[in-house]
Amino acid sequence: MKRTAVQLACLLVLCAAPAAARQLPSQPLAFDDGRVTIGGTVSATYGSDDTGFFNFTDYDRSELRMLRFDVTGAVNAGPHFAVLGELRTENFDAVRPYALYVRIHPWTSRDIDIQAGRVPPTFGAFARRTYGSDNPLIGYPLAYQYLTTMRADALPATADELLAKRGSGWLLRYSVGDNTPDRGLPLVSAFRWDTGVQAHARTANGAVSGTVAVTAGTVSNPLFNDDNGGRQVAGRLELRPTAGLIVGTSVARGAFLADAAARSASQSDGRAFAQTAWGADAEYSRGYYLLRFETIVSAWDLPIVRTPALTLPLRAASTSLEGRYKIVPGLYAAARVDHLGFSEIAGSTRTAEWDAPVTRTEVGAGYSIQRNLLVKVSWQRNRRDGGHVPNLDLGAAQVVFWF
């Protein structure tokens, strides 16, 4: 019944959005002479039944069948201090704080900010483009959404156990740590922001900017309350050498494995089992064209429990190439090619990548009915070397309204 209600709600929004948008605000609401602003985004997506769980972000929730509401707010208390936040709900589920942080601007003459709380992501390029209005397609790059067989609260005892789980990151259970069936983790989470302290600085001409942060959890598993006493350190450097070109690189390292899982593996000596990630990205726009490239490499260090032992660290690497072309005013075509691969480990009877490699091709188009109302359609071709559904083609439609 819940899924049927969501589908009907999506269809109603798709049908009613053009008329409703003409009566709704077209820009953020401002109060108290602009000191308080409130904005929002509504996105409704309805697509094929993803029986292979290629687009799932957690158990029983697909990005291709999603009704999402976001409400953002900002309170500016003078030139040096602001409070920003965002509430989000998906498929009429619980309302949760997606972002909530204070921003301190110490010097009005310098572009330097310090932020504390649930802060925007430091790592990667796509993490700041997760809203439907910023994403030219409907699906997400694999690195930011696809659920691998890596868990922070549980781990396999042997290489054979890990190889047996290939392609089942949407729901899996291991023999060490929490044995409750649960989802795996992506390389980088695009659906949870970091909690901690972040500093950002940019040169006067905007050609160079940098961000550093100390937060709880890791890029694949951001946390509000840390489960291992460790912290993640992340940084990003971004260059804009010429008009239309942006080049960036990101690094992050933090304690990954929960203390309870480490104790279950008889590793309670205080050692931090870390996730280390590195990324590089580029964007170039000119005229009607926009091209984006991003690659991410992540490595996880885990305890060795029994033989055949895991070949450590376990690595994963993703590559994404995306393009958009404006055909006529308001209408564009877009495409993205993605690949996610994994390092090999040796089991008792075979040597293979520790999770099933995935390749996705997505093509689509978008049309702006008005400035803040966008309709998109897309088609995905998913191919995976494992899992109960190795190959699956999926279609979807989405409407996005924002103010």
pLDDT digits (tens, 9 = 90+) for 162-195: 999 999 999 999 999 999 999 999 999 998 999 9
For the chain, which domains are there? 2-402 (2.40.160.10)
Beta bridge partners of 177: 154
For residue 127, report the phi and psi dihedrals to the nearest 5 degrees: -55, -25
pLDDT tens digits, 228-249? 888 999 999 999 999 999 999 9
Residue 132 has pLDDT above 80, yes or no: no
Cα 268 to Cα 253: distance, rounded to the nearest angstrom: 20
Q: Tokens at residue 165, please?
A: 């789980």
Cα 214 to Cα 211: distance, rounded to the nearest angstrom: 11
Residue 93 has pLDDT above 90, yes or no: no
Q: What is the pLDDT of residue 237?
A: 98
Cα 20 to Cα 364: distance, rounded to the nearest angstrom: 25
- Segment 271-283 shows an average pLDDT of 94
Q: What is the pLDDT of residue 9?
A: 44
Within 166-229, strands assigned E span: 176-177, 194-202, 208-215
pTM score, whole prediction? 0.91
DSSP state of 120: P
Write the CA distances from 9 to 24, 44, 130, 367, integer angstroms: 19, 8, 22, 21
For residue 245, report the phi and psi dihedrals to the nearest 5 degrees: -115, 130
Residue 11 has pLDDT above 80, yes or no: no
Q: What is the pLDDT of residue 63?
A: 94
Q: What is the pLDDT of residue 61?
A: 85
Compute the 3-state secondary structure of the chain and give helix, strand, coil in percent, each to the nearest 5: 10, 50, 40
- Select from 288, 194, 178 the least CA-distant residue to 236: 194
Least confident of 5-19, 51-65, 266-280, 334-348: 5-19
Q: What is the pLDDT of residue 396?
A: 98
pLDDT confidence tier of residue 225, bands split at 50, 70 and 90: confident
Residue 59 sits at the vertex; the CA angle it makes with 54 and 62, to the nearest 5 degrees, is 45
For residue 262, report the phi and psi dihedrals to the nearest 5 degrees: -65, -40
Q: What is the pLDDT of residue 13?
A: 46
pLDDT: which is higher, 61 or 386: 386
Beta bridge partners of 211: 200, 236
In a 13 Å sphere around the CA of 27, the CA atoms on its Cβ side amount to 3
Q: What is the pLDDT of residue 269?
A: 63
Q: What is the pLDDT of residue 12?
A: 43
Residue 328 has pLDDT above 50, yes or no: yes
Instruction: Encode burial over 11-33: b for 16+ CB neighbours within 10 A, e otherwise.
Output: eebbeebeeebeeeeeebeeeee
Beta bridge partners of 252: 234, 277
pLDDT confidence tier of residue 227, bands split at 50, 70 and 90: confident
Q: What is the pLDDT of residue 1?
A: 39
| Position 49, amino acid | D
**SS3 call for 81:** strand
